[in-house]
Structure 1
Amino acid sequence: MGQQEQVATSLAGVVSEEISASLVAVDEELARRYPGDPGTRQPVHTVYVPGDAFDADTIRTWGDQALAALDEHAPDAASFAKVLGISDELAAPVYDRVRAKLTREPIEDLRVDFEDGYGPRPDAEEDADAARAARLIAEAFQSGTAAPYMGIRMKCMEAAVRDRGIRTTDVFLTTLMRHGGLPDGLVLTLPKVTYPEQVTAFVRLLSAFEKAHDLPEGRLGFEIQIETSQSILAADGTAAVAKMIDAAQGRATGLHYGTFDYSACVGVSAAYQASDHPAADHAKAVMQVAAAGTGVRVSDGSTNVLPIGSTEHVHEAWRLHYGLTRRALARAYYQGWDMHPGHMPTRYAAVYAFYREGLEQAAGRLAAYVAKTGGDVMDEPATAKALSGYLLRGLDCGALDNAEVARLTGLTRADLDAFSSPRRGSLTVTAP
């Protein structure tokens, strides 16, 4: 045994105390602005349905239409995999899970649209549609037939439609309260946000509604839709989207990129408006950095190329949608929009292939990290968090099963939750 090292210091304890005291405000600011991921499920997509078209059967109808598209244009695993370039190893697991998903839970997040997809209507008509949407959503949650997340996109806070948007929000929320209260999966989307003050105004609206119904302050959150260049870069050169998150006062849950409005805003011609355009990549990169650590999630946009018509055209549209979805996943955009039932087979195929092809590597790295056995990659705590988040997202959407993840990692779902989100508390596990 060697001689024990003598440890000496030069600074009095008061130095550390004074430094800590000087950083109290910073500590509080960090905790407020950057609480980390909320540790809740993030849907893999959002489906928009016009307010006049939404009905009690919409979710099942979309699932049935998606299954019918598979039956007609890719009736088995081999043909579907050939169209999309999925490996032989993954062909059957992905295809079978896609069909099961479309049968069990075809839509993860549904937004009844009262904005672009609905347009201007007589006030009495929009009032009736907003009330009907709320009643149907309440009934769906009560009967267990709802998508995990449902809500509305109201008209924006611009002067021409502001009053109508406020009224539709009020009608919708009031009707929900009259039919059992606000469901846990409720989501509101505020479109065409250009200035942080518009976010502040919406916060004021929601706060007033909460007070009117004796709801807890902050009960109502909302997504901010990024559809204008001014929402990315403000007139003074700052990142406006970061100010919008702050203006939401903790209510912002997501930033949703609007592919076509944003593209048109910056002058991209119609033929080149797509989610992989450089202008789109720049906007989403700014959104991603602004949202990092805040608990606000980022969603990609959509493609307007619909998989309809001949099998040749459907396959072409499927390949495009599959490729865009895989591209988004690699860039950490774990959610996107789907505009047609025919998009759902390739949405789930891309998501399931993404998680299943990386399952063994991610699980092995996380198990090695927990067991401190190393391996050929030296991972750090931040990477362990990312690995657990990857597995959790795969579990949430149905790409992975709890049993196979537990077998490969030696960890429970609770263990993964604790790794992934600081809001879940500390992690204590026994090495497998």
Structure 2
Amino acid sequence: MAVNGGAGSASDADSDDSGGQSPAPPSPPSVVKPRDRSASLPHLSMHSSGGQSSDEHWPDDQHHHYHHQHLYHSPNCAYNGSAAAHCRHSTPLSRTTSFRVETKSYRMFRASDLVKGELLGKGFFGEVFLVTHRLSAEKMVLKELYRVEEEAENNFVKEVAVLRALTHPNVLRFIGVLYRDKKLHLLTEFISGGTLKELIHDLQRPLSWRYRMSAAKDIASGMNYLHSMNIIHRDLNSQNCLVKDEGTVVVADFGLAKIIATNNRRFSGGGAGSGGKRRDRRKRYTVVGNPYWMAPEMMKGKKYDEKVDIFSFGIILCEIIGRVLADPDYLPRNSDFGLNKIVFKEKFCESCPEFFFRIAFLCTEVDAEDRPPFETLERWLANIALYFPTLHTIPKELMNEIVSFPDYQSALRANRRRRPHRTRR
């Protein structure tokens, strides 16, 4: 359930029919029966304020380090991306530290600590309210679970487990939990600007190309962080991207997120110089999310991996470019569930910079292997944010890199097919 809208539901009993015995993905903390639920609370590593919820228990942003390689180029220096920049393959999901190791403390509230305000949204499993802390007047968002099915509880506890591990300026900030009436409730930061979907379709508000590219960069940055933490969002859409007052966009709603198994085996993220054949990490996980943003491979019930999030991001880019609804009645699609690029370009790209819609087209490729990873997307969009506002263009080398990406991917796959397999001794 999004803060400002509902989302699909799904059981997390994802199957793996990929052939051999594969390590099972880490499961979220188990949900015990309501009468025993209190016994599980210490396992969530909470900071209980004992009712006195003082500011000292809030996460201190200056002590949270953003563990991501910055790929920005100074506008005072020549762009040095070139074709070799393709070699910067995405951070391998299976080589990063498991998100479960990097959990942080958070607060536990009592019902008497909070004053419930307006209803912000309603989904299949619960409701979202604006609440205010009685002492500090801090505004927060309370997500209440009102359905008691095991599936709902599993998804809800998993969202708590995922959110409590994340610290990034473009990911919704988790604050704490409220335990009331034998149920666990989630508290996050309040984002007052509404959803990205609402902003896109409020045609009374002009959106410059500079801002649209900045919003895209924010989402790519948050998603790159999630993928580096072994998390597939699986429900990325413009309703689950929230806009702060100053315009920054944050990624939210992790109820359908999937945690990738980490087995410490090296594999390539799709770049040259990867040092080996890319290990196929696709599995036949559950089909979840909103079909308007859903990747073709998931829509068809095929095996998939984190690349499904990149397709969803591409659809969001199309929404941003054309200020058009993701509904196929408005956003032109093909019978294979891909984007109809010819029609989209004719209808919505007259004033759009070419490099921007080319990035959207790359993200919406039907073949998942042809989609650039979020690490590459963040780097492209970060450089665009540096150069475009002042030059109204981007360096030729960067444009060439974007244009040549499909050919590069094709050559890379051909090279893999030619590489002889090693035989075990």
Q: TM-score range by the shorter chain?
A: under 0.3
Which structure has more relative contact order (CA 8 Å, sep 6+)? It is 2
Identify the structure with the greater strand proportion. 2
- Structure exhibiting the larger radius of gyration computed from Cα positions: 1
TM-score norm. by structure 2 comes to 0.25
Could you state the TM-score of these two structures normalised by the residue count of structure 1? 0.24
